[in-house]
Amino acid sequence: MGEAIYSAYLNNKGSMIANTIIYKRSEERFLVVPNAANTDRVYKWIMDNRKTYNVRVTNLSDKLACISLQGPLSPKFIEKVVPEAKVQKEVNSNLNLWVPFLLRSQR
């Protein structure tokens, strides 16, 4: 729990469909956060490729928002802008700091 990985979705020819961050919420639950412009494409890829796996997939893109800042000043910036946010600091392969957090819709 609390782990994340930066990865990519590839088509059958090995070309990139989209990049994404996948967060491990528990042993059996994951949150996939693709670039917003690719949400439908990633959802379709997951649905098309889950056929042999016993998984349930729910598209929550209309219920959640995600802000992601990069760089060493990200934690200080987000803590000033949104003091109540619990900043989760993660280091990616380029040693940049990622500061993602989710805001639940009030619907």
pLDDT score of 97 more than 50: no
pLDDT at 107: 40
DSSP string, 39-85: HHHHHHHHHHH-TTS-------TTTEEEEEEESTTHHHHHHHH-TT-
Q: Which pLDDT score, from 0 to 100, does residue 91 have?
A: 44
Q: What is the pLDDT of residues 47-79, one digit of tens each?
A: 988 888 888 888 888 887 776 777 777 777 877
pTM over 0.85: no
Q: How confident is the model at residue 15 (pLDDT cuts 50, 70, 90)?
A: very high
